[in-house]
Amino acid sequence: MSYRVKKGAFAVGIVNSGQDTGSGSLTKLSLDSIRTSAGVFHSTTLFIQSGLAFSDTYFYDTGGGDPNYNPSAGHCPNTTGGFGWDMTDGYDNAVTSGAVGCATYTNDELAIYYYEFVDQNHSVNSSICVVL
Amino acid sequence: MTYIPFIDNPNADKSQTTLDVPANLNVNTLIPCTSITHTGITNSSGQLVINSGLSVLLTAACLIDRRTTYTGGYLVFQWYDVTNSSWIGRSCQLSTATWNNNTHRYRSESFARCVVIATVQTTVELRIKSILNVSAINEQYDGSSIPASSWPSPWYSILSF
């Protein structure tokens, strides 16, 4: 079963399980919890009639590999919006951009799409996705 | 008991699209917004013209590449009210770093944002506020375009009602 939030509501999705997506492919992160201003709470799937969404992610080191090496990833609330970029502290970042992704929703699923370029024993956590 | 009602505003309009490459890398240079379809807002040569009576939240995130300089650098960008000649909202700083030097280990860059409550028609633009050792903005250091899929992408968004 899935829910659909009407236009004008507000929703927050959180990833708190820590997920290692591997590198080189666009992956939809699993949201661990969703809350909305319309009073709906559901743990898996929520569709947004109309909204502006932002994604934010955080890496953590799971041990092994090179410290401060170069895990870097793009992320966005859908596959076609503006991707934000995260990378590990201290990485030789010749290229960088805003760490927040942004997209509009029109009957789209509340989600975070995540593309990890290099996987060096890092997982993603504490991600949020907000819809206005 | 005090009630704080949720104000549902189904008439709000929301848009998001890309930023373009600025004409040069100097302070006060326009970072162009690409064309967008949004109620009450038009794009004029990379600037946004906001109709009177509209309340607007603007956000924007650039991309920088310093690869030809090989030292740490930064870009600060912010929304600018052209009509009233003033910086508005909160700026964003993007920083690059050299290998493992932890210069910028607590990264906090997110996006530039501002709120505009337009009592008259108001023109705003995204501008370079400060810059050091940046080879390219919203393109790669060699002038090529940003890869389309999954790369970080320069974007801006509009929420208005």
CA A54 to chain centre: 8
**The whole model's pTM is what?**
0.88
- What is the per-residue pLDDT for B6? 45
B12 touches B160 (CB < 8 A): yes
Cβ-based contacts of B17 with chain A (< 8 Å): 82
Q: Which residue type, as a one-letter code, is found at position B40?
A: G
- For the record, the structure tokens of B38 come out as 């949004």
Q: Do B94 and A98 touch (CB under 8 A)?
A: yes
CA B21 to each of CA B14, B126, B140, B144, B150: distance values in angstroms, whole numbers, following the listed order: 23, 12, 10, 11, 19
Question: Which ipTM score applies to this complex?
Answer: 0.86
B34 touches B60 (CB < 8 A): no
Whole-number Å distance between alpha carbons of B92 and B134: 15
Query: What are the tens digits of pLDDT across the range B26-74?
Result: 999 999 999 999 999 999 999 999 999 999 999 999 998 877 655 678 8
Proportion of chain A above pLDDT 90, given as a percent: 14
User: Which residue on chain A is closest to B139 by alpha carbon?
Assistant: A95
Query: β-pairing, A3-5 with A46-61?
Result: parallel
* Average of per-residue pLDDT values in chain B: 86
Query: What are the tens digits of pLDDT across the range B83-98?
Result: 999 999 999 988 876 5
* Cα angle B86, B92, B97; round to 5: 140
Average pLDDT over residues A96-116: 88
Whole-number Å distance between alpha carbons of A35 and A11: 6
Q: How confident is the model at residue A117 (pLDDT cuts 50, 70, 90)?
A: confident
- What is the per-residue pLDDT for B4? 47
Pick from A81, A92, A93: CB nearest B155: A81
Q: Find all residues with CB under 8 Å of B5, minimum gap 6, and list them.
A: none
Pick from A87, A91, A97: CB nearest B63: A97
Query: β-pairing, B155-160 with B13-18?
Result: antiparallel
Chain B contact present for A51, CB below 8 A: yes
DSSP line for B56-115:
EEEEEE-EEE-TTT-S--EEEEEEEETTTTEEEEEEEEEE---TT--TT-S-----EEEE
- What is the per-residue pLDDT for B104? 47
Question: Could you tell me the CATH number of the domain that includes residue A38?
Answer: 2.60.120
Query: What are the tens digits of pLDDT across the range B97-153?
Result: 654 554 444 455 789 999 999 999 999 999 999 998 888 999 988 888 887 766 788
- What is the per-residue pLDDT for A66? 58
Structural domain of residue A65, as residue ranges?
A: 3-131
Domain boundaries, chain B: 17-141+155-160
Considering the domain delimited by B17-141+155-160, tell me its CATH architecture.
Answer: Sandwich (2.60)
